[in-house]
Structure 1
Amino acid sequence: MTDSATEQQAPTPVFDPVKLETVNAGKDYPMEPEEFKKLFEHNCYCEMAHINKNGFPIVTPMFYVVRNGEIWVSSIRKHRHKVMDLENNPKVSVCIHNDGANLRHQKAILVIGHAEVSTDDPIMREIHWAILDKYWSEVKGEEQRQVAFDAIHTPLRAVIRIVPDKTLNWDFGKMINAYTPGVWFREAYDMSAKFI
């Protein structure tokens, strides 16, 4: 008898959507406070959703910074519809997340709120310098930094402050680690062995 014949075969996973749908990721598996702060303030992946003039949701990747616990982004006022759409309908949601390449480390923050558009120059300067420092840290020297800043800080731009009404977050890795038999693939399947 060969070794492979004596090995026990892993059971075929049987997905149980009814039990899985009872999981409330945000309530049952929130991020730890220090993880939330790190992801919220220092992450680079961010998408913002707004409603266009035809009532469709539009999702756009954005550069963002956090100031005093609030999300700020920058956008072009002319030649883009985003600012005009937000002035007509300020409802917005923002998702900040890690790259999600490893299932055990997927984390996300969802902010639902309203957008406030500003063209106030001192505020725009602060936000644009912060975006430059966060996303283009490889730009060194005052002359190069000023050139990069001038490319961002133009008269055609506005900054957008996200005023949160509700914030949700979840740690998908906790869902995997807290696996209870039957929630994911019934009792026969060992979820922990699959994603190590």
Structure 2
Amino acid sequence: MPGQRRGTAIAMSEEERDAFLRSQPVCRVATVGPGGHPHAGALWFVWDGTALWLNSLTRSRRWTDLGRDPRVSVLVDDGGFDFLRLRGVELLGSAEVVGEVPRKGVPTPELDSPERLFADKYSGGGDFRHDGRHGWLRLRPEKIVSWDFGKLRA
């Protein structure tokens, strides 16, 4: 995966980036819509250290867009109004469908880890709930860019 060329002074280390991605509740997913027009929406996610897992409604514009063109940009950020608190990570690549569509719970070993991570993150543990309306998308980023403007204080 190519490294970050600009902003290396404010780039997060791999450990900082992983901790940040595991702690944040929402990402913004941008897809390529009809006619090349972008579409962005918020979504829950989990990061397993190598891939970003998105649990998306299968009857959504996002799902339709990705079926046509798998390229995606995902932004995870926080910080509010104080410039030196702005932090974020952008992940770019192609999303791939993993498992049945929609997901109803057919045993899929590849989904054991993301479903456990998702249940731990959003419902305090226990079993992941399959609702027959969502499916799993995996983004193995081809490029990751991060920033933490708090590093400018040093």
* Fold shared, TM-score > 0.5 on shorter chain: yes
- 2: distance between equivalents of 1:99 and 1:29? 14
Match 1:62 to one of 22, 43, 46? 43
Note if contact 2:50-2:140 (Cα within 8 Å) is conserved in structure 1: no
Q: Deviations over 1:135-164 (max 9, x none)?
A: 222x7xxxxx55xx43xx122221000121
Equivalent residue for 1:116? 96
Q: Which runs of 5+ in 1 are unaligned?
A: 1-23, 140-144, 179-196
Query: Shift of residue 68 of structure 1?
Result: 4.4
Percent identity between matched residues is 25
Q: What amino acid does structure 1 have at the position aligned with 2:64? A: M
Whether 1:171 aligns to 2:151 is: no
Greater helix fraction, Structure 1 or Structure 2:
1
- 2: distance between equivalents of 1:169 and 1:85? 26
- 1: distance between equivalents of 2:137 and 2:62? 10
Three-state SS of the structure 2 residue aligned to 1:128 is helix
Q: Deviations over 1:49-93 (max 9, x none)?
A: 111123211111111111242100111112x12112101100101
Note if contact 2:9-2:151 (Cα within 8 Å) is conserved in structure 1: no
The 1:126–1:155 alpha-carbon spacing in structure 2 relative to 1, beyond 3 Å, is farther
Greater Rg by CA: 1
Note if contact 1:73-1:159 (Cα within 8 Å) is conserved in structure 2: yes
- 2: distance between equivalents of 1:158 and 1:124? 11
Q: Deviations over 1:85-138 (max 9, x none)?
A: 10110010111223435432221111111100123442456433422220222x
Greater strand fraction, Structure 1 or Structure 2:
2
Match 2:28 to one of 44, 47, 71? 47
- 2: distance between equivalents of 1:107 and 1:25? 15
Q: What amino acid does structure 2 have at the position aligned with 1:134? A: K
- 1: distance between equivalents of 2:112 and 2:34? 29
- 1: distance between equivalents of 2:10 and 2:76? 17
Note if contact 1:25-1:172 (Cα within 8 Å) is conserved in structure 2: no
Query: Shift of residue 39 of structure 1?
Result: 0.3
Three-state SS of the structure 1 residue aligned to 2:91 is strand
Equivalent residue for 2:103? none
- 1: distance between equivalents of 2:111 and 2:58? 13
Whether 1:30 aligns to 2:11 is: yes
- 2: distance between equivalents of 1:51 and 1:108? 22
- 2: distance between equivalents of 1:42 and 1:59? 21
TM-align CA RMSD? 2.4
Matched length: 143
Match 1:100 to one of 75, 80, 88? 80
Equivalent residue for 1:132? 119
Match 1:158 to one of 109, 123, 135? 135
TM-score using structure 2 length:
0.78
